[in-house]
Amino acid sequence: MKLSVSLTVNGKPVCAEIESRTLLVDFLRDRLRLTGTHIGCDTAQCGACTVLIDGKAVKSCNVLAIQARDRQVTTIEGVATNGTLHPMQAAFKQHHGLQCGFCTPGMVMSAIGLAAETKNPTAEQIREALDGNFCRCTGYHNIVKSVKAGLENMEKVTS
């Protein structure tokens, strides 16, 4: 069955006809060519597909595109401003929070989502918050450091 969907993606209005079964991750990647949102498992385990819906981190392989109707979706392509990295991206760069980079967009989006939920989380709380995001390369140590620094950077920008 075909459905019409209107939503906002990275600040831009988008309208499309989609199959009712279309997953948000496939809509973003295949229709909008926003391929920074990765598919690592397709079964809501790895977190590589994480995006923000109305500021909340969600696994876009676990959401139908139609469920994002009239919502604000943000992908990794939408977080930098005029070529300047988002404070969380800058922290991942500075603290070597990535190696192959496959998990990184999802990690960054989950970390940005965490900012709306917790102020000054401990390393333990960051690990808990990221337990749905898998990384095969880094051992997580530098990711946790990056997220902590990124949250501090975000706090400075908004205060």
Write down the least CB distance from residue 51 to ligand FES, Å: 10
Query: Any idea which residue has 């006809």 for tokens?
Result: 17
Write down the least CB distance from residue 159 to ligand FES, Å: 30
Q: Which amino acid is at 153?
A: N
Stretch that binds ligand FES, among 7-15, 77-85, 109-117, 129-137 (CB under 6 A): 129-137
Distance (Å, whole) CA 72 – CA 8: 5
Nearest in space to 88 (alpha carbons), one of 109, 67, 69 = 109
Distance (Å, whole) CA 25 – CA 48: 10
Write down the least CB distance from residue 58 to ligand FES, Å: 10
Distance (Å, whole) CA 88 – CA 94: 10
Question: By C-beta, is 30 or 155 nearer to ligand FES?
Answer: 30
- The site string for ligand FES over 88-127 (x = CB under 6 A, - otherwise) reads ----------xxxxxxx-----------------------
Query: Which one of 3, 41, 85, 90 is in contact with ligand FES (CB under 6 A)?
Result: 41
- Whether the CB-CB separation of 71 and 159 falls below 8 Å is answered with no
Write down the least CB distance from residue 119 to ligand FES, Å: 26
Query: Any idea which residue has 């009239």 for tokens?
Result: 70
Write down the least CB distance from residue 29 to ligand FES, Å: 11
- The site string for ligand FES over 60-79 (x = CB under 6 A, - otherwise) reads -x------------------
Interior/surface letters 100-112, b for 16+ CB within 10 angstroms, e for the rest: eebbbbbbbbbbb
Pairing of strands 2-9, 72-74: parallel
Residues at the site binding ligand FES, with contacts judged by CB under 6 A:
39-42, 44-49, 59, 61, 98-104, 135-138
